[in-house]
């Protein structure tokens, strides 16, 4: 039966209800004319109608009357909420479960039967298949973007389609959560060190893409995945252009609009500078605990984007200098005056002095002061947030101000002679160790206030390379002194790979330039 026939039946049934019983047969005869199928449908429905209300009421009572909580208690697990895709096989991918809860839209974990591995699947809006020109453009862009090979960009394995022509992207599967989920889990401002770390990794991804002339256009916390090891993976490169239609149309949720640049909000084309803006919004949200342009509906959000000048400094007076400047520069309304490339933001973030003191990643849990945001007027929000921040204890403290003795662990001490020399010139004693066991032997919890270590090194009698030696060291040291303070100074690659994990494990910081450590302990590096 076609849709219009169904609507016709619906209408006839309603009209028949007003007609006296005696005249119904004539009504059916007249209205269904020479359509016996329609007549049969209408007649049987009319027959079923008089007692239907009572029947459905009774059925409801019998099937639902005793309540569902007994059933719920018996149900196996809360996490396997049913989903039509789960359990299906598309192409050679067996869809297992949803990734990242409800926050990620339609991303599923699936088993790749051909290559015996787990992957993530994302289905593309079904409209794409209707218009071949849109589809061609989408595929062209998605393929260009999938060529991006960067540790902070989600690897795209392939773009495939279901039997009925629905496109989907096959991506590497990571264990972790979206930045959106992480922000919501935190419920308030994020520790500066964590926010810097995450935004720096996003900036790395953008810088790499911008260098190849690829613009993301839809950078938002839902598209930023943070793995369990703290590595940021930017998702959906090259898909955003197809999302443009969604953004401007009715389907655009407030969540998407909130990260749009002013030029996007005006419907103008987006370029690298729009990505810079969106990163600025994310950084603001992480540091302030509220979105800079928070509104209940997209229209108001766009108004705010075009007119408001949110002031991060007023909300977080405790921030290290520099970071608020970067946010402000990224949130410059006029694209021409905004940093034009991810690289510029990355450099700015790298120059930001890291706050002292232990990173409170592990302690960053929802507190009683959790900010309830989103609906209130922005001005009021700013006030509330500012107040709650004023009463926040400054956990960063001045942990490293009085370091006088350092234990430095590196299998290749020549790397650091310049910095060690500077430390000594400032009256800081340095004990050096070549390996983890060497360091644990030399470590004196009373004497050494700070440990500086590389991450990977050649160790042991056989001289095998241990990529995570720094973590082993931290564990050994912590057994001796639970609040041991350690900074890793290591290769740029190891910094990218391990920084978030190290900070989550309680390291004070992770730097690729050892001179930064001098700044951390309050010394000014001198030229070498």
What sign does the dihedral 190-192-198-203 (CA atoms) show? positive
Q: Under the criterion CB under 8 A, does residue 68 sit at the interface with another protein?
A: yes
Name, in order, each residue with C-beta under 8 angstroms of 33's C-beta and a sequence gap of 6 or more: none
CA atoms within 13 A on the CB side of 310: 32
Q: How far apart are CA 51 and CA 49, in angstroms?
A: 6
Figure out which of the listed residues 25, 26, 40, 52 binds another protein, where binding follows CB under 8 A: 52
Of 35, 40, 50, 87, the one binding another protein by CB under 8 A = 50
Work out which of 184, 271, 347, 438 binds another protein, going by CB under 8 A: 184
* Residue 193 C-beta: closest distance to another protein, Å: 22
Contact between 46 and another protein by CB under 8 A: the answer reads yes
Angle between helices 21-32 and 3-17 (to 10 degrees): 150
- The answer to whether 44 contacts another protein (rule: CB under 8 A) is yes
Number of residues that bind another protein (CB under 8 A): 65
Helix (H, G, I), strand (E, B) or coil at 382: helix
> What's the min distance (Å) between Cβ of 322 and another protein?
30
29 token code pair = 């005869």
Scanning 63-71, 166-174, 395-403, 475-483 for contacts with another protein by CB under 8 A, the matching segment is 63-71
- 214 backbone dihedrals φ, ψ, rounded to 5°: -105, 130
Is 297 a binding residue for another protein by CB under 8 A? The answer is yes
Q: Which of 197, 218, 236, 411 is catalytic?
A: 218
Segment 229 to 258, residues that bind another protein, using CB under 8 A: 250-255
- State both tokens at 303: 């108004």
Binding residue for another protein, selected from 25, 26, 75, 113, defined by CB under 8 A: 75
The two three-digit tokens of residue 159, written as one number: 């773009």
* Binding region for another protein (CB under 8 A) out of 116-124, 223-231, 290-298, 348-356: 290-298
271 is an active site residue? no
- Contact in structure between 131 and 202 (CB atoms under 8 Å): no
CB of 18 to another protein, least distance (A): 12
For residue 51, give the 3-state DSSP assignment.
Answer: coil
The answer to whether residue 303 forms part of the interface with another protein (CB under 8 A) is no
Determine, following the binding rule CB under 8 A, whether residue 87 of this chain makes contact with another protein: no
The CA dihedral of 194, 284, 391, 385, to the nearest 10 degrees, is -140
Q: How far is the CB of 311 from another protein (least distance, A)?
A: 25
Q: Nearer Cβ to another protein, position 253 or 353?
A: 253
Residue number with CB closer to another protein (68 or 446): 68
Cβ distance to another protein smaller for residue 28 or 407: 28
* One residue of 62, 116, 394, 483 binding another protein per CB under 8 A: 62
Q: Is 187 in the site for another protein (CB under 8 A)?
A: yes
Sheet architecture: strand order including 176-178: 176-178, 224-227, 232-234
Nearer to another protein among residue 72 and residue 115 (C-beta): 72
Specify the 3-state DSSP secondary structure of 142. Answer: helix
Among 317, 322, 366, 492, binds another protein (CB under 8 A): 366
Do the Cβ atoms of 451 and 517 come closer than 8 Å?
no
Tokens of 208: 């790499």
Integer-rounded Cα Rg, in Å, for the chain is: 30
Supply the minimum distance, in Å, between the C-beta of residue 361 and another protein.
Answer: 17
Decide: is 465 part of the binding site for another protein (CB under 8 A). no
Distance CA 423, CA 448 (A): 14
Which of these ranges, 74-82, 147-155, 398-406, 512-520, lies near another protein under the rule CB under 8 A?
74-82
Torsion of CA 267, 203, 329, 360, to 10 degrees: 120
At a CB cut-off of 8 Å and minimum separation 6, what does 435 contact?
Answer: 409, 411, 457, 459, 460, 469
Using left for φ > 0, alpha for ψ between -120 and 50, and beta otherwise, residue 308 falls in beta
Q: Which is nearer to another protein, 57 or 269 (CB)?
A: 57
Residue found by looking up tokens 């290290």 in the block: 320
Please pick, from the candidates 83, 127, 398, 475, the single residue that binds another protein as defined by CB under 8 A: 83
**Does 56 interact with another protein (rule: CB under 8 A)?**
yes
Q: With binding defined as CB under 8 A, does residue 105 bind another protein?
A: yes
Residue 47 lies near another protein (rule: CB under 8 A): yes
Place of tokens 């690829």: 214
**Site for another protein (CB under 8 A): which residue of 70, 321, 427, 482?**
70
DSSP output for 241-310: HHHHHHHHSTT--HHHHTT--HHHHTTPPP-HHHHHHHHHHHHHHHHHSS-TT--SSHHHHHHHHHH---
Q: Choose the binding region for another protein from 12-20, 259-267, 387-395, 430-438 (rule: CB under 8 A).
A: 12-20
With CB under 8 A as the contact rule, the residue among 59, 172, 429, 479 that binds another protein is 59
Nearer to another protein, 251 or 492 (CB): 251
Q: Yes or no: say if 290 and 381 are a contact pair by the CB < 8 Å rule.
A: yes
Cβ distance to another protein smaller for residue 74 or 524: 74
Instruction: Answer yes or no whether residue 102 interacts with another protein by CB under 8 A.
Output: yes
Binding site for another protein (CB under 8 A): 1, 3, 6, 9-11, 13-14, 17, 44-56, 59-60, 62-75, 78-79, 81-83, 98, 101-103, 105, 181, 184-185, 187, 250-255, 296-298, 366, 372, 374-375
Q: Which residues are catalytic?
A: 218
């Amino acid at each position: 039966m076609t849709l219009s026939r169904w609507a016709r039946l619906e209408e006839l049934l309603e009209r028949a209800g007003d007609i006296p019983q005696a005249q119904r047969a004539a009504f059916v005869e007249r209205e269904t004319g020479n359509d016996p199928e329609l007549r049969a449908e209408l007649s049987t429905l009319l027959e079923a109608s008089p007692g239907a209300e009572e029947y459905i009421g009774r059925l409801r009572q019998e099937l639902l009357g005793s309540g569902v909580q007994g059933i719920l208690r018996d149900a196996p697990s809360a996490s396997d909420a049913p989903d039509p895709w789960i359990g299906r096989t598309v192409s050679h991918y067996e869809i297992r479960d949803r990734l990242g809860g409800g926050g990620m839209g339609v991303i599923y974990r699936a088993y790749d039967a051909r290559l015996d591995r787990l992957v993530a699947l994302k289905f593309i809006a079904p409209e794409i298949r209707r218009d071949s020109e849109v589809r061609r453009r989408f595929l062209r862009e998605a393929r260009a973007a999938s060529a991006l090979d960067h540790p902070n960009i989600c690897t795209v394995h392939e773009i495939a389609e279901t039997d009925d022509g629905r496109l989907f992207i096959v991506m590497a599967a990571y264990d972790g959560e979206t930045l959106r989920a992480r922000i919501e889990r935190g419920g308030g401002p994020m520790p500066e060190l964590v926010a810097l770390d995450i935004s720096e990794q996003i900036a790395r991804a953008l810088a790499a893409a911008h260098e190849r002339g690829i613009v993301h256009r839809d950078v938002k916390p839902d598209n930023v995945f943070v793995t369990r090891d703290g590595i940021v993976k930017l998702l959906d490169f090259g898909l955003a252009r197809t999302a443009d239609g969604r953004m401007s149309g009715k389907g655009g949720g407030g969540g998407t609009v909130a990260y749009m640049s002013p030029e996007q909000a005006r419907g103008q084309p987006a370029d690298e500078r729009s990505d810079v803006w969106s990163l600025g919004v994310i950084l603001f949200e992480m540091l302030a605990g509220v979105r800079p342009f928070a509104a209940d509906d997209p229209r108001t959000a766009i108004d705010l984007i075009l007119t408001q000048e949110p002031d991060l400094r007023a909300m977080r007076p405790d921030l290290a200098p520099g970071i608020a400047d970067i946010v402000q520069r990224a949130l410059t309304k006029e694209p021409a005056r905004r940093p034009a490339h991810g690289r510029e933001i990355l450099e700015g973030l790298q120059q930001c002095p890291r706050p002292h003191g232990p990173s409170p990643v592990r302690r960053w849990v929802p507190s009683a002061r959790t900010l309830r945001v989103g609906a209130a007027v922005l001005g009021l929000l700013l006030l509330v947030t500012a107040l709650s921040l004023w009463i926040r204890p400054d956990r960063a403290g001045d942990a490293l101000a009085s370091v006088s003795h350092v234990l430095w662990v590196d299998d290749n001490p020549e790397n650091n002679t310049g910095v060690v020399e500077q430390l000594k010139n400032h009256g800081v004693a340095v004990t050096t160790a070549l390996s983890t066991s060497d360091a644990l032997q030399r470590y004196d919890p009373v004497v050494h206030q700070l440990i500086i270590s590389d991450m990977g090194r050649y160790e042991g009698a056989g001289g095998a390379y241990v990529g995570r030696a720094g973590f082993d060291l931290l564990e050994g040291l912590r057994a001796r002194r639970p609040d041991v303070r350690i900074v890793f100074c290591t290769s740029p690659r190891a910094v990218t790979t391990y920084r978030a994990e190290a900070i989550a494990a309680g390291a004070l910081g992770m730097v690729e330039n050892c001179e930064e450590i001098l700044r951390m302990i309050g010394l000014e590096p001198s030229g070498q």
